[in-house]
Amino acid sequence: MRNDLNKYPHISFIKKWELKNKTIFELGQCESIIRALRDTPIPPAYRKMLMSVSLKKGAQSTTAIEGNTLTDEEIEKVNEGIKLAPSKEYQEIEVRNILNALNSLLKEVTSENKLKTISVDLIKRFNYLVGKNLGEHFEAIPGKLREHNVVVGKYRAPNYQDVEYLLKQFCDWSIEEFHFKKSQDFIDSVIQAIITHVYIVWIHPFGDGNGRTARLLEFYILLRAGNPDFASHLLSNFYNETRNEYYRQLDKTTKTGDLSDFIAYAIQGYRDGLHNILNLIQENQFRISWINYIHETFQTNKIRGKTDSLNKRRRDLILAIPLNKKLNVEEIININVKIATIYQLLSKRTLMRDIKELIDLELLKNDGDAYMANIDLLKKFIPKKTKSTN
Residue-wise pLDDT for 337-360, tens only, equals 999 998 988 888 999 999 999 999
Residue 140 vs residues 63, 90, 95, 249: alpha-carbon distances, Å: 17, 15, 18, 27
Give bridge partners of residue 152 from the DSSP assignment: 155
End-to-end CA distance of the chain: 55
Residue 305 pLDDT: 55
pLDDT category of residue 184 using cuts at 50, 70 and 90: confident
**Which range has the worst mean pLDDT, 238-247, 298-307, 321-330, 379-388?**
379-388
Residue 20 pLDDT: 92
- Across residues 89-112, what is the average pLDDT? 95
Spatial separation of the C-alpha atoms in residues 83 and 137, rounded to whole Å: 18
Q: Tell me which architecture the domain covering 3-281 has in CATH.
A: Orthogonal Bundle (1.10)
Q: What angle do CA 175, 185, 53 make, to 5 degrees?
A: 95
Of residues 181 and 2, which shows the higher confidence score? Answer: 181
- One-letter amino acid at 279 equals N
Residues present in the chain in total: 390
Tens digit of pLDDT for each residue in 21-55? 999 999 999 999 999 998 888 999 999 999 999 99
The domains of the chain are located at 3-281, 301-379
- The answer to whether 219 and 102 are in contact (CB under 8 A) is yes
User: According to the 3-state scheme, what is the secondary structure of 50-78?
Assistant: HHHHHHHHHHHHHHHCCCCCCCHHHHHHH
136 phi/psi in degrees, rounded to 5: -70, -10
Residue 390 pLDDT: 42
Spatial separation of the C-alpha atoms in residues 256 and 55, rounded to whole Å: 34
Spatial separation of the C-alpha atoms in residues 385 and 32, rounded to whole Å: 18
Residue 365: CB partners within 8 Å, gap ≥ 6?
359, 371, 372, 373, 374, 376
Q: What secondary structure letter does DSSP report for 136?
A: G
* Residue 320, burial from CB neighbour count under 10 angstroms (0-12, 13-18, 19+): middle
The rounded mean pLDDT for the chain is 91
CA-based radius of gyration for the chain? 27
301-379: CATH class: mainly alpha
Spatial separation of the C-alpha atoms in residues 185 and 176, rounded to whole Å: 13
Residue 385 pLDDT: 52
pTM of the shown model: 0.85
- Across residues 56-70, what is the average pLDDT? 95
Say if strands 364-367 and 370-373 run parallel, antiparallel, or are unpaired: antiparallel
